[in-house]
Amino acid sequence: MVRPVAPTQPHLGRLRVERQHRLIEELRLAAGRHATAEELAAALRVDVRTVERDIARLRDIGLPISARRGPGGGFRLDVPPAVGPVRLTPGEIAALIASVASVGPYVSATARSALDRLIQALQPSADRHLPAHTPAHTPAPDAATRHRVPTTEERHGRRHHQAEAAGRLGRR
């Protein structure tokens, strides 16, 4: 059973979602090999028990994570390297957009790419051939940058600069 976050502490829910996204990405980047709880904990900068709880939550909702004990054991994300097209209803797309927006689309390049694709899917068909402001395919971050989480200033700086520019335009 998935334990909900207390309504008085919604920030904890956001932290959990960001951490679980990073955990899924770590498992995906392991490319089919088993990653130990210790390796995952070090990569996420949390304790082993947190990794184990997060994996249990992800498995409870149906994410295919296998576990193997002993030497060479650990956790592995059992998904194909490429996934075929998924047909979603506009309501399902809206739910995913709201979820990504609540976490923050700048948490990772993958989240931003997913958000761009979802928004583009809701555009009228005549507008779909127009390039989005961000490429639909954002390459995976390299090993040196994949663990880097953007700072609050980086995540919110763009909005600040837009607001600042709008303020200057409004004064003319």
Q: 21-68: per-residue pLDDT in tens? A: 899 989 988 887 899 999 999 999 999 999 999 999 999 999 999 999
Give the CB-side neighbour count of residue 72, counting CA atoms within 13 A.
Answer: 2
Pick the CATH number of 10-77 from 1.10.10.10, 3.40.50.1970, 3.30.200.20, 1.10.580.10: 1.10.10.10
- In terms of Cβ atoms closer than 10 Å to its own Cβ (0-12, 13-18, 19+), residue 83 is exposed
Q: What is the mean pLDDT of residues 140-145?
A: 44
Task: For residue 10, give both structure tokens.
Answer: 């919604």
Distances (CA, A) of 163 to 86, 134, 154, 159: 36, 20, 15, 6
- What pLDDT shows up at residue 34? 93
pLDDT digits (tens, 9 = 90+) for 84-122: 888 999 999 999 988 888 877 777 788 888 889 899 988
- Assign 8 to helix, strand or coil: coil
HEC string of 127-170 equals HCCCCCCCCCCCCCCCCCCCCCCCCHHHHHHHHHHHHHHHHHHH
Domain boundaries, the chain: 10-77, 90-157
Between 35 and 8, the more confident residue is 35
Question: What residues contact residue 49 under an 8 Å CB cut-off, 6+ apart?
Answer: none
